[in-house]
């Protein structure tokens, strides 16, 4: 009898397991993704996960070269404004094969995202859910990275100046 129960228990344990996946996508794609400070790949990326709850999500995109029209769209400018900013060296520009290109950079994104458990992952129903073959939880997270613009660069410089002044004031106070 004990041998039969052991065999049945082993069969039930090997029947199924819930597969838990998170897919992270970004606009633009190709952003480097970190979940809880662990690098998991470039978007779009699908990774397994074990625990429900909050995840620290960080996306970094080094930017890329694109034609002036696409850069204007990404930056919310006209093509003429893009050309003026390239000439003023506020944007990186180059010409390749007779096509004017502009490098667009993106602001890193650091946020939290919650992985909610489905109802059947609660204690009790989870025993049945674990035994169902092919059972899967697939979370899909989409993020939009903001391009770096003159305004965001100027704001960054202003914050740096404020921090410098604060540090000088603190060192004088010592």
pLDDT, tens only, 93-128: 999 889 999 999 999 999 999 999 887 777 777 666
DSSP element (H, E) containing 31:
none
Q: Which residue has the higher pLDDT, 118 or 7?
A: 118
pLDDT value at 54 more than 90: yes
Task: Tell me the domain boundaries of the chain.
Answer: 18-62+106-166, 64-104
Lowest mean pLDDT among 10-14, 32-36, 54-58, 163-167: 10-14
**pLDDT for position 10:** 55
Q: Is this prediction's pTM over 0.85?
A: no
Nearest alpha carbon to residue 135 among 124, 149, 125: 125
How far apart, in Å, are the Cα atoms of 142 and each of 21, 23, 139? 14, 8, 10
Residue 12 has pLDDT above 80, yes or no: no
Q: Closest by alpha carbon to 101, among 74, 127, 121, 123?
A: 74
φ, ψ for residue 6 (rounded to 5)? -65, -45
Q: What is the pLDDT of residue 2?
A: 72
Q: Give CA–CA dist 128/123, Å, rounded.
A: 10
CATH 3.40.50 holds for 18-62+106-166: no
């Amino acid at each position: 009898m004990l041998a039969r129960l052991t065999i049945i228990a082993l069969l039930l344990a090997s029947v199924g397991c819930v597969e838990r996946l998170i897919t992270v996508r970004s606009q633009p794609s190709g952003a480097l993704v970190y979940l809880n400070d662990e690098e998991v790949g470039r978007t779009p990326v699908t990774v397994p996960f074990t625990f429900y709850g909050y995840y620290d999500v960080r996306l970094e995109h080094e930017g890329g070269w694109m034609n002036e029209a696409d850069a204007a769209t990404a930056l919310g400018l006209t093509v003429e404004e893009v050309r003026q900013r390239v000439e003023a060296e506020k944007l990186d520009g180059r010409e390749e094969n007779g096509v004017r290109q502009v490098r667009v950079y993106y602001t890193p994104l650091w946020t939290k995202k919650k992985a909610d458990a489905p109802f059947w992952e609660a204690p009790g129903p989870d025993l049945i859910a674990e035994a169902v073959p092919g059972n899967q939880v697939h979370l899909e997270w989409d993020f939009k990275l903001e391009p770096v613009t003159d305004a965001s660069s100027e704001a960054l410089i202003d914050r740096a100046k404020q921090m410098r002044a604060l540090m000088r004031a603190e060192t004088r106070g010592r």
